[in-house]
Amino acid sequence: EVKLVQSGAEVKKPGESLKISCKGSGYNFNTYWVGWVRQMPGKGLEWMGIIYPGDFDTRYSRSFRGQVTISVEKSISTAYLQWNSLKASDTGMYFCARAPTSTSHPKHFDSWGQGTLVTVST
């Protein structure tokens, strides 16, 4: 069974750093893209970026480039989303999701993690 299991909820202060994780199992982690999607409270889905563990090819939405870092640790089948300096506006639910690949191009998200709630507040 394909599973993506995300790390637990976080409460942080503005300016703090944070790294959340997404562990894949039940499939060859290196041959599927892993993407991150933000959902702010009461709002829709925003595509943040995606990484291919096989060759570390990483693509970001312009809105998130420079604001977050997406990485992977292949040896433990885990993807990460990292902030160096959180803002209150980073508050939201963050989902990881798996995407099949087609000639080095990510496709639709066919499996999703349960989400990690990040709250940034003084």
Partner 1 sequence: DIVMTQSPDSLAVSLGERATINCKSSQNILYSLNHNNYLAWYQQRPGQAPRLLIYWASTRESGVPDRFSGSGSGTDFTLTISSLQAEDVAVYYCQQYYSTPHTFGQGTKVEIK
**What is the contact surface with partner 1 in residues (CB under 8 A)?**
35, 37, 44-47, 49-50, 59-63, 95, 97, 99, 106-115
- What minimum distance in Å lies between the beta carbon of 45 and partner 1? 4
Q: Which is nearer to partner 1, 10 or 46 (CB)?
A: 46
- What minimum distance in Å lies between the beta carbon of 122 and partner 1? 27
Q: Are strands 10-12 and 116-120 parallel, antiparallel or unpaired?
A: parallel
Are 18 and 117 a contacting pair, CB within 8 Å? no
Strand partners, 95: 37
Q: Which is nearer to partner 1, 8 or 122 (CB)?
A: 8
- What minimum distance in Å lies between the beta carbon of 80 and partner 1? 18
Are 51 and 60 a contacting pair, CB within 8 Å? no
Q: Are strands 92-99 and 33-39 parallel, antiparallel or unpaired?
A: antiparallel
